[in-house]
Amino acid sequence: MAEQRRTIRGCARAGLQRKPRNSLREAWDVNNIATGSSQCFGTGKQREVLDYVVQFHSVRTQPHRLSLLAIIPANSMAMLCSSLYVDCVKVTICKPHELGFGELSLWRNWQKADPRLASPFLAPEFAIAFANHFEAARVAVLEDEANIVGFFPYEKRPLGVGTTLAYNFSDTQAVICSAGFQFDPIELLQACGVAVLEFDHIVGHQSFQFSQAGRVDLLPAPVIDLTGNFEEWLKDKRQTSSNIKQATRKQRKLHHEIGSINFVYDSPEPADFAQLMAWKSAQYVRTGRSDRFANPRFRGFVEELFATRTGDFQLRLARLQAGDRTAALCLSLRAPDRLAHWFPAYDTSLASYSPGSICLINLAEAAAKDGLSRLDLGKGSEAYKQWFKNFDDQVAEGWIQRRSPAALLRQVQQGPKRAVLQLVLGNPRLRTAARSALKGVGQIRQAAAKAKSSDRFRQKAQRP
How many whole angstroms separate alpha carbon 343 and alpha carbon 254? Answer: 22
What are 196-242's pLDDT values in tens digits?
899 999 999 999 888 887 889 999 999 999 998 899 999 999 998 89
Q: What is the pLDDT of residue 288?
A: 85
3-class SS at 100?
Answer: coil
Q: What is the pLDDT of residue 385?
A: 96
Q: What is the pLDDT of residue 454?
A: 53
How many whole angstroms separate alpha carbon 452 and alpha carbon 450? Answer: 5
- Roughly how many angstroms between the first and final C-alpha of the chain, as a whole number? 62
Q: What is the pLDDT of residue 72?
A: 36
Q: What is the pLDDT of residue 376?
A: 98
Q: How many CB atoms lie within 10 A of CB 120?
A: 28
Counting as low any pLDDT under 50, the low residues of the chain are: 1-87, 416, 418, 420-421, 423, 434, 438, 457
How many whole angstroms separate alpha carbon 295 and alpha carbon 288? Answer: 16
How many whole angstroms separate alpha carbon 393 and alpha carbon 361? Answer: 20
Q: What is the pLDDT of residue 403?
A: 62
Domains of the chain: 16-84 (no CATH), 228-372 (3.40.630)
Cα three-residue angle 390-394-396, rounded to 5 degrees: 150
Dihedral sign for Cα 192, 196, 202, 206, please: positive
Q: How many CB atoms lie within 10 A of CB 183?
A: 26
What angle separates helix 74-84 from helix 44-58, to the nearest 10 degrees? 90
